[in-house]
Structure 1
Amino acid sequence: MNIHISDTPEQLGAAAAVQAADAIRRAITANGKARIVLSTGASQFGFFQAFIKEQLEWDKIEMFHLDEYVALPESHIASFRKYLKERFADLIPLGRAYYVNGEGDVAANIAALTEEIRKQPIDVALIGIGENSHIAFNDPPANFDTKEAYMVVDLDEACKRQQVGEGWFATVDDVPKQAITMTVHQIMQAKTIISCVPHKVKANAIKQTMDNDVTNTVPSTMLKTHADWTLYLDRESASMIDAAALKA
């Protein structure tokens, strides 16, 4: 585990984008292409702003994303497909994009996505950490046992409140009850994991991640077992962890 602390979310995003781009270049040199996973949400704004400015062979990159609400149309402001297209995929000449689709035949959509993601390893995964310490939509207590790539989950109340707090929905009742999420197992298969976690609202989740051993009640603790995980914080999100944790 490596921890980097920046003064601002923008500096955090820029530093993470440089690392992600370097890892992608190495994958393209080695394999002729790179396969990446991207997360969404307000915490990722700084990363995307910097990432799309990186000089990369975008046409050699295949993108997967983490999660999507069940039965939410892409036209909705909270749709993660909409988010990724507007902030990333439509702005660069991306090779391929594989989106999580929560509409229509969800089981068939999951099966098709699973087939694609399992064809080859993921080189770089951008994995945020939620206010309730979730990774993707694996809310506590997360399923650490399944070997599926994606699954349908029920969203907990803390997760729903976060979505309202970030401005994606007007009320908790407006947040869909279910989502499709990449599983913890599938996330951990990535060769490199980078987590961008700015803002004061994430400080307790970071503290819980650092203070606890691996437990499904704090899903983000699983990331600490990965051989190549880098955690990017700003001063506010790092404000509740102690000096010993910063040197870990």
Structure 2
Amino acid sequence: MRLQVLEDYEEMSVKAASIVASQVTLKPDSNLGLATGSTPLGMYNNLIKMYKKNLINFKEVVTFNLDEYVGLPADHPQSYHYYMFDNFFDKVNIPPEKIYIPSGVGDDLKQICKKYDQSINSHGGIDLQVLGIGKNGHIGFNEPDNKLRTNTHVVKLTEETINDNSRFFDSIDDVPKKAISMGMSSIMKSKKILLLASGEQKAEAIKKAINGEITTEHPASLLQLHSDVIILVDKNAAKLLATTNT
């Protein structure tokens, strides 16, 4: 693991965008694993700025999103499909046929999950996987448990995750209780992983991810087993770390 502590969220976002841009520059047909939520928004905004300045070209890139809520159609304002197009895809030149987001709507969710894994594998796996981290240590929607699913799967969201995500909905009752999540196998098989965390509320999760016991009860701790992980945090998210590297 390589840890970089940045001054604030904006500096972290700029650095994250530069890492993604370097990946695409070195390998224009990169397979990018992408995350949603509030943390990567700054990264996406900086990538859009770079694209508008002709500093990066996404025309050969293939993307795979980590997750999607079960029961929300693609055009629902809180679906991750909507999030990605509204915050990134509609503003850059990734061809629509190269964008993969698991559907949370369908009669056979198991088959949807299976086909999603097949799509990832048929493209040769993920070159760079961007991750956020939940306060409980989840990555994607791989929630703390005594065991974790390796493949893309339907997961029951924990009460903590539902509460955390309720800020995006009119009511906590509107938050879906299940999601489709890329499994730990695809995440861990990624050639490079970029984990982002900002804010004091993520400090405990980051501490356990980097210095804690490797356990499925804190899924992010499994990243200690990966050979190429970059962790970008701002000072607030790093405040519980005994030592920091830049």
Q: Structure 2-normalised TM-score?
A: 0.91
Give the distance between the partners of 2:236 and 2:27, measured in 1 at CA: 33
3-state DSSP class of the match of 1:186? helix
Equivalent residue for 1:184? 184
Equivalent residue for 1:66? 66
Once the two structures are superposed, the pairs formed by residues 23-42 of structure 1 within 5 Å of their partners are 23-28=23-28, 33-42=29-38
Give the distance between the partners of 1:208 and 1:194, measured in 2 at CA: 17
3-state DSSP class of the match of 2:141? coil
Give the aligned residue type for 2:126: I
Give the distance between the partners of 2:175 and 2:102, measured in 1 at CA: 17
Range 103-112 or range 190-199, more displaced:
103-112
Equivalent residue for 1:156? 158
Once the two structures are superposed, the pairs formed by residues 1-248 of structure 1 within 5 Å of their partners are 1-28=1-28, 33-54=29-50, 55-95=55-95, 96-105=98-107, 106-119=109-122, 120-141=124-145, 143-144=147-148, 146-148=149-151, 150-164=152-166, 167-243=167-243, 246-247=244-245
Shift of 1:226: 1.0
Give the distance between the partners of 1:195 and 1:142, measured in 2 at CA: 23
Contact kept? 1:24, 1:124, Cα under 8 Å: no
Give the distance between the partners of 1:48 and 1:202, measured in 2 at CA: 20
Change (3 A) 1:233 1:65: same
3-state DSSP class of the match of 1:173? helix
**Where does the alignment leave 5 or more consecutive residues of structure 1 unmatched?**
none
3-state DSSP class of the match of 1:222? helix
Give the distance between the partners of 1:163 and 1:198, measured in 2 at CA: 16
Give the distance between the partners of 1:172 and 1:207, measured in 2 at CA: 29
Task: Report percent identity of matched pairs.
Answer: 29
Change (3 A) 1:142 1:179: farther
Give the distance between the partners of 2:2 and 2:182, measured in 1 at CA: 23
3-state DSSP class of the match of 2:168? coil
Shift of 1:44: 1.2
Q: Map Cα deviations across residues 70-92 of structure 1 (whole Å, 9 max, x no partner).
A: 01123333211111001111111
Contact kept? 2:126, 2:186, Cα under 8 Å: no
Give the aligned residue type for 2:119: E
Contact kept? 1:134, 1:140, Cα under 8 Å: yes
Range 103-112 or range 83-92, more displaced:
103-112
Shift of 1:19: 1.1
Report how many aligned residue pairs link the two structures. Answer: 238
Shift of 1:142: 6.2
Range 208-217 or range 180-189, more displaced:
208-217
Q: Map Cα deviations across residues 150-171 of structure 1 (whole Å, 9 max, x no partner).
A: 100100011111102xx21234
3-state DSSP class of the match of 1:85? helix
**Where does the alignment leave 5 or more consecutive residues of structure 2 unmatched?**
none
Give the distance between the partners of 1:22 and 1:71, measured in 2 at CA: 36
Shift of 1:177: 1.2
3-state DSSP class of the match of 2:59? helix
Shift of 1:211: 3.0
Give the distance between the partners of 1:218 and 1:172, measured in 2 at CA: 24
Change (3 A) 1:142 1:188: farther
Shift of 1:112: 2.4
Shift of 1:104: 1.6
Give the distance between the partners of 2:215 and 2:168, measured in 1 at CA: 29
Please report the RMSD computed on the Cα atoms of aligned residues, expressed in angstroms: 1.6
